[in-house]
């Protein structure tokens, strides 16, 4: 993501504690980018300067006299870069391509007396990668690193964490989205001499789009050098895409790593599954009679058919017990954590010293394995340090991962795939590859994201293997058998083929590349950007959150809405210590103040933190500790709010860059209005609440229009709520895992949906006047009220369209103005809507949801209400 920090929030030269979160790259408004004083260097023309050339040359010569400096054999690499416009550099993990190729380019220019013309920009797919490499570079270039006094040669530009390099003779590390933003302001990247695209084999969304643009850019700039850095596995694919450009391979510098498959692990540990009667997953699944099969299922069918032949190849090399256990341990559906526990014990008791790194797909597996280990007397001793590595863990736990334990103490790290490439734990000697990775996909037919644990690709397995052997020969244990290994895909499906493309389409449209129809009224029928689409594309967040921000500014509740927007676009500040999950849930519900809103819970938690911070660091520390909050994440959200406010001021929606400016927060204490703004941003992500009369499952049931019955995610403050004031929820994310879960949801009123939802229609149903939003959210209403709402809605839409086309702050002091009168009338209606009686029902006198029987998607086939 791309944000800018003013002098008060600029990041210090130390790695941030929230490095583990995956980041989406942001966009920034062109005016803000070009006027921001810290980024003037991006637009300064690169002109050769003889005095700078000489200074750089003397500097390089002085480094050569340093006893730490060693000349490297780089002539072939430098020659290929200088003689070709595009070069693919492939190499295994640990070969040093990320840290050293950029240096070779800069040093070559300095030696030739052209250092002032060299400006190298190196992109990274993740924020943590850009930051960690930029902090490592000063040490590699033999500079003294202390505090803010890092070298001016190598710097980083990433979300809220950047230190800019000198203007000439420099290396800038940045996230991929920075370059996409840069292209909007400078379509030719005219001030970049060398563009280095790192980790392109990961095929994330931003990287693939950038490759398309760069290929076109090469037709316009014959002086630009492009270096693509990739894992060995698919380097040829990128060479072919760039017209069979040259390739060079850098051999790995790591120690050899011995690999073991499931059958080897079973044989050495003599592990036997506890449930001796269980059948392999494929046997359970494929006798269920599916009528149609996905590609995944076809792969499993191939596995099933090939197993007898493969089992025969194991005979004589492995015991019968091992072969039987391998068949039972087909882990397509579940990772056997007891097996991992047995393997860790085997390593501890039979192998030499060295850290153990365990790869698991998600939080549930990490938490369960941690519980298994800590339940063993052996691992409760001070001879072991167990570090679960996940974004839900407290920051203090995460930073321990880089520290080497004292002699005689073994470190065990349990991590997700973040440890594959984004970080390096250099004392790892043993890797246990669980064989699974959480992968998000998007079902376009049902408009739902899914997250499931899939088999790793060969590329994943190779990267995991590479984590061992950094300091000495290592060992990697894969928890899948040889047959499964032969069926693994070469690499993961590119992200662009499994993710929603709304935000990307808007960004591309701003760069005048391509055409794509979007929701949210961002494009007109001719697929041109509307005024709303223009502002949404300029905001550094996905479109729904961008719309939330705009409405917060227009309706005078800026500060709390920016807190919500920052949390949704980054992450919420809560962490969950292992073993204290219930206590953390209870504190979160207390912070919610019975708002029945995950979004407002974040607002109240953030307010409490601000108040505690004003009283002093001790109060801040105690507040965060008592409420299971991360101070670092809260500070990040604070920084993000400031950046959002700067965007809004630059666009003309507010008059101050201060999120707490009084003129922008005249309605910030109005909880009902904030909920309405959430509707404005997140609609049509709406769910209906119905009471449950089941004795087994009391409480409520939740339904969406497209999915029928769904579940509120257990992390939500509404997960165990039994009584709601209204029958509608607005949510941020819907994802299918074990069930379909709604994440980050808020109870909302009928007026919120009517004014800030979709189109309104009025009709009669069995003689009763009804008013409906998009014809499916239906309320009974007196005719007079229904027509009043429709008229006000029309006025509001006209006003908002005018404000978005001609941005200007609402003049709240002039109550007689039309815009203020319309907005005030709507706010009054939303605020004074009488709280309904009777639990999960809307106001019976004025509003009532239409009978659910009229909507087939509310049918509940698995009800047990008659129990």
Res. 840 pLDDT band, cuts 50 70 90: very low
pLDDT at 99 over 50: yes
Q: Which has more pLDDT, 463 or 816?
A: 463
Nearest residue to 449 via CA among 105, 219, 785, 707: 707
Contacts 24+ apart (CB under 8 A), 785-788: 785/846, 786/762, 787/762
Q: How far apart are CA 476 and CA 432, in angstroms?
A: 6
For 669, phi and psi rounded to 5 degrees?
-95, 0
Average pLDDT over residues 260-287: 72
Res. 862 pLDDT band, cuts 50 70 90: very low
Q: Which range has the worst mean pLDDT, 13-22, 457-466, 560-569?
A: 13-22
Neighbouring residues of 799: CB distance < 8 A, sequence distance ≥ 6 = 818, 819, 822, 823
Average pLDDT over residues 409-422: 83
For residues 404-414, one letter each, b for 16 or more C-beta atoms within 10 angstroms of the residue's C-beta and e for the rest, the string is ebeeeebbbbb
Q: Which has more pLDDT, 247 or 50?
A: 247
Strand ranges for 222-302 from DSSP E = 225-230, 247-250, 257-260
Res. 260 pLDDT band, cuts 50 70 90: very high
Nearest residue to 677 via CA among 551, 569, 807, 794: 551
Q: Which has more pLDDT, 834 or 58?
A: 58
For 454, phi and psi rounded to 5 degrees?
-110, 160
Res. 842 pLDDT band, cuts 50 70 90: very low
Average pLDDT over residues 296-307: 83
Q: Which has more pLDDT, 387 or 291?
A: 387
The ranges assigned to domains in the chain are 30-250, 257-496, 539-669, 680-858
- At residue 298, the pLDDT reads 79
Nearest residue to 184 via CA among 495, 506, 645, 651: 506
| Partners of residue 259 on adjacent β-strands | 476
Q: How far apart are CA 666 and CA 668, in angstroms?
A: 6
- The rounded Cα 183 to chain-centroid distance in angstroms is 23
- At residue 391, the pLDDT reads 63
- At residue 61, the pLDDT reads 65
Q: How far apart are CA 727 and CA 838, in angstroms?
A: 12
Res. 285 pLDDT band, cuts 50 70 90: very low
| Partners of residue 172 on adjacent β-strands | 121, 155
Chain segment 465-490, per-residue pLDDT in tens: 988 888 889 999 999 999 999 989 88
Nearest residue to 432 via CA among 380, 365, 529: 365
Cis peptide bond N-terminal to 684, omega within 30: yes
Average pLDDT over residues 179-183: 77
Strands 760-765 and 740-748: unpaired
- The rounded Cα 799 to chain-centroid distance in angstroms is 35
pLDDT at 331 over 90: no
Whether 788 contacts 771, CB under 8 Å: no
Average pLDDT over residues 719-743: 89
| Partners of residue 431 on adjacent β-strands | 357, 476
Cα 202 to Cα 198, 431, 468: the distances in Å are: 9, 21, 20
The domain defined by 30-250 folds into Rossmann fold (3.40.50)
Q: Which range has the worst mean pLDDT, 246-250, 273-277, 427-431, 761-765?
A: 273-277
Q: How far apart are CA 577 and CA 571, in angstroms?
A: 17
Chain segment 659-680, per-residue pLDDT in tens: 999 999 999 999 999 999 999 9
- At residue 794, the pLDDT reads 85
Phi-psi region of 593 (alpha: psi -120 to 50; beta: other; left: phi over 0): left
pLDDT at 636 over 60: yes
For 499, phi and psi rounded to 5 degrees?
-145, 150
Q: Which has more pLDDT, 253 or 577?
A: 577
Chain segment 356-394, per-residue pLDDT in tens: 999 999 888 888 898 899 889 899 888 999 988 776 655
- At residue 178, the pLDDT reads 74
Report the range out of 163-172, 337-346, 489-498 with the highest average pLDDT. 337-346
Strands 428-433 and 355-359: parallel
Res. 419 pLDDT band, cuts 50 70 90: confident
Whether 127 contacts 26, CB under 8 Å: no
- At residue 63, the pLDDT reads 54
Alpha carbons within 13 A on the beta-carbon side of 91: 23
Q: How far apart are CA 357 and CA 470, in angstroms?
A: 12
Whether 354 contacts 472, CB under 8 Å: yes
Helix (H) or strand (E) segment spanning residue 832: helix 818-832
3-state class (DSSP) for residue 489: coil
Whether 540 contacts 643, CB under 8 Å: yes
Chain segment 21-34, per-residue pLDDT in tens: 333 333 333 333 33
Scanning 666-782, the segments in alpha helix (DSSP H) are 671-682, 750-756
Nearest residue to 107 via CA among 136, 85, 77: 77
Whether 302 contacts 282, CB under 8 Å: no
Nearest residue to 758 via CA among 826, 687, 682, 683: 683
Q: How far apart are CA 555 and CA 814, in angstroms?
A: 15
3-state class (DSSP) for residue 511: coil
Whether 637 contacts 563, CB under 8 Å: yes
Burial of 160 (0-12, 13-18, 19+ CB in 10 A): buried
Q: How far apart are CA 354 and CA 344, in angstroms?
A: 12
Q: Which range has the worst mean pLDDT, 89-93, 181-185, 236-240, 501-505?
A: 501-505
| Class of domain 257-496 as given by CATH | alpha beta
Res. 527 pLDDT band, cuts 50 70 90: low
Neighbouring residues of 167: CB distance < 8 A, sequence distance ≥ 6 = 41, 44, 119
Whether 715 contacts 694, CB under 8 Å: no
Whether 239 contacts 215, CB under 8 Å: no
Strands 161-163 and 154-158: antiparallel
- At residue 605, the pLDDT reads 97
Strand ranges for 390-427 from DSSP E = 410-415
Scanning 570-698, the segments in alpha helix (DSSP H) are 581-591, 598-615, 617-626, 631-651, 671-682
Report the range out of 5-9, 271-275, 343-347, 436-440 with the highest average pLDDT. 343-347
Helix (H) or strand (E) segment spanning residue 849: strand 848-849
Phi-psi region of 520 (alpha: psi -120 to 50; beta: other; left: phi over 0): left
pLDDT at 766 over 80: no
Report the range out of 124-128, 179-183, 498-502, 823-827 with the highest average pLDDT. 823-827
- At residue 409, the pLDDT reads 92
- At residue 787, the pLDDT reads 84
Q: Which has more pLDDT, 210 or 452?
A: 210
* Per-chain mean pLDDT for the chain: 77
Average pLDDT over residues 534-557: 83
- At residue 247, the pLDDT reads 92
Whether 46 contacts 191, CB under 8 Å: yes
pLDDT at 142 over 80: no
Q: How far apart are CA 325 and CA 273, in angstroms?
A: 7
Q: What is the DSSP letter of 157?
A: E
pLDDT at 510 over 80: no
- At residue 863, the pLDDT reads 46
């Amino acid at each position: 993501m791309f944000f800018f920090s003013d002098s008060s929030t600029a990041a210090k030269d130390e790695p941030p504690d929230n490095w583990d979160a995956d980041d989406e790259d942001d966009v920034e408004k062109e005016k803000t980018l070009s006027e921001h004083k810290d980024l003037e260097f991006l637009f300064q023309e690169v002109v050769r300067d003889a005095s700078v050339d000489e200074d750089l040359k003397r500097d390089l010569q002085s480094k050569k006299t340093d006893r730490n400096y060693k000349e490297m054999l780089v002539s072939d690499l430098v020659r290929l870069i200088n003689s070709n416009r595009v070069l693919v550099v492939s190499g295994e993990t640990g070969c040093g391509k990320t840290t050293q190729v950029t240096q070779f380019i800069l040093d070559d220019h300095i030696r030739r007396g052209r250092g002032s013309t060299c400006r190298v920009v190196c992109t990274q797919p993740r924020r943590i990668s850009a930051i960690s490499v930029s902090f490592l570079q000063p040490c590699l270039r033999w500079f003294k690193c202390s505090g803010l006094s890092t070298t001016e040669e190598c710097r980083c530009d990433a979300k809220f964490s950047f230190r800019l390099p000198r203007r000439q003779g420099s290396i800038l590390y940045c996230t991929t989205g920075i370059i996409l933003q840069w292209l909007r302001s400078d379509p030719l990247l005219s001030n970049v001499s060398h563009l280095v695209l790192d980790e392109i084999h990961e095929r994330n969304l931003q990287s693939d789009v950038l490759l398309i643009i760069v290929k076109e850019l090469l037709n316009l700039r014959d002086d630009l050098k492009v270096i693509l850095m990739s894992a060995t596995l698919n380097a040829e694919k990128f060479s072919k895409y760039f017209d069979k450009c040259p390739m060079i391979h850098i051999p790995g510098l790591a120690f050899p790593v011995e690999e073991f498959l499931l059958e080897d692990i079973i044989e050495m540990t003599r592990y036997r599954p506890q449930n001796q009667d269980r059948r392999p997953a494929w046997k359970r699944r494929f006798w269920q009679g599916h009528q149609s099969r996905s590609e995944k299922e076809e792969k499993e069918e191939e596995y099933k058919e090939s197993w007898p032949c493969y089992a025969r190849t194991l005979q004589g090399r492995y015991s019968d017990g091992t072969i039987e256990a391998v068949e039972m341990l087909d882990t397509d559906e579940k990772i056997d954590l007891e097996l991992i526990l047995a393997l860790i014990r085997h390593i501890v008791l039979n192998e030499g010293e060295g850290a153990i790194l365990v790869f698991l797909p998600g939080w549930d597996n990490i938490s369960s394995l941690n519980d298994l280990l800590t339940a063993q007397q052996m691992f409760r001793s001070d001879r072991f340090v167990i570090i679960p590595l996940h974004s839900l863990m407290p920051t203090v736990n995460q930073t321990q991962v880089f520290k080497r334990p004292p002699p005689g103490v073994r470190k065990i790290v349990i991590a997700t795939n973040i440890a594959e490439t984004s970080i390096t734990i250099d004392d790892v000697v043993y890797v246990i590859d669980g064989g699974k990775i959480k992968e998000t996909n998007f079902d376009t037919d049902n408009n739902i994201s899914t997250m499931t644990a899939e088999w790793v690709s060969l590329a994943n397995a190779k990267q995991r293997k590479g984590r061992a052997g950094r300091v000495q020969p290592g060992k990697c244990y894969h928890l899948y058998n040889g047959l499964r290994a032969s069926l693994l895909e070469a690499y993961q499906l590119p992200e662009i083929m499994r993710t929603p493309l709304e935000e990307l389409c808007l960004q591309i449209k701003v760069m005048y590349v391509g055409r794509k129809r979007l929701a949210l009224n961002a494009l007109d029928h001719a697929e041109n950007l509307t005024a709303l689409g223009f502002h949404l594309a300029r905001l550094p967040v996905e479109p729904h959150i961008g719309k939330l921000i705009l409405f917060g500014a227009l309706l005078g509740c800026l500060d709390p809405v920016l807190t919500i927007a920052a949390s949704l676009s980054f992450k919420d500040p809560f962490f969950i210590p292992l073993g204290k999950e219930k206590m953390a849930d209870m504190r979160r519900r207390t912070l919610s103040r019975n708002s029945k809103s995950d979004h407002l819970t974040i607002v109240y938690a953030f307010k409490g933190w601000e108040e505690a911070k004003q009283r002093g660091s001790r109060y801040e520390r105690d507040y965060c500790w008592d409420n299971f909050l991360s101070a670092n994440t809260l500070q990040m959200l604070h920084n993000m709010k400031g950046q959002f406010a700067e965007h809004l001021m630059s666009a003309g929606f507010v008059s101050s860059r201060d999120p707490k400016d009084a003129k922008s927060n005249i309605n910030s204490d109005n909880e009902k209005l904030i909920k309405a703004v959430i509707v404005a941003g997140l609609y049509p992500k709406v769910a209906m609440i119905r009471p449950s009369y089941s004795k087994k499952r009391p409480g409520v049931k939740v339904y969406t229009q497209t999915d029928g019955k769904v579940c509120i995610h257990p992390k939500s403050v509404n997960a165990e709520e039994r009584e709601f004031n209204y029958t509608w929820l607005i949510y941020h994310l819907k994802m299918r895992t074990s069930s379909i879960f709604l994440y980050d949801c808020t109870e909302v009123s009928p007026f919120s949906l009517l004014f800030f939802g979709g189109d309104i229609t009025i009709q009669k149903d069995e003689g009763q006047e009804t008013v409906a939003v998009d014809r499916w959210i239906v309320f009974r209403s007196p005719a007079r009220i229904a027509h009043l709402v429709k008229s006000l809605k029309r006025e509001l839409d006209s006003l908002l369209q005018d404000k978005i086309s001609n941005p200007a702050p609402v003049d709240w002091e002039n109550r007689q103005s039309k815009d203020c009168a319309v907005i005030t009338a709507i706010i009054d209606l939303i605020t004074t809507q009488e709280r309904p009686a009777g639990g999960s029902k809307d106001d019976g006198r004025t509003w009532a949801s239409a009978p659910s029987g009229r909507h087939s998607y509310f049918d509940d086939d698995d009800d047990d209400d008659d129990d």
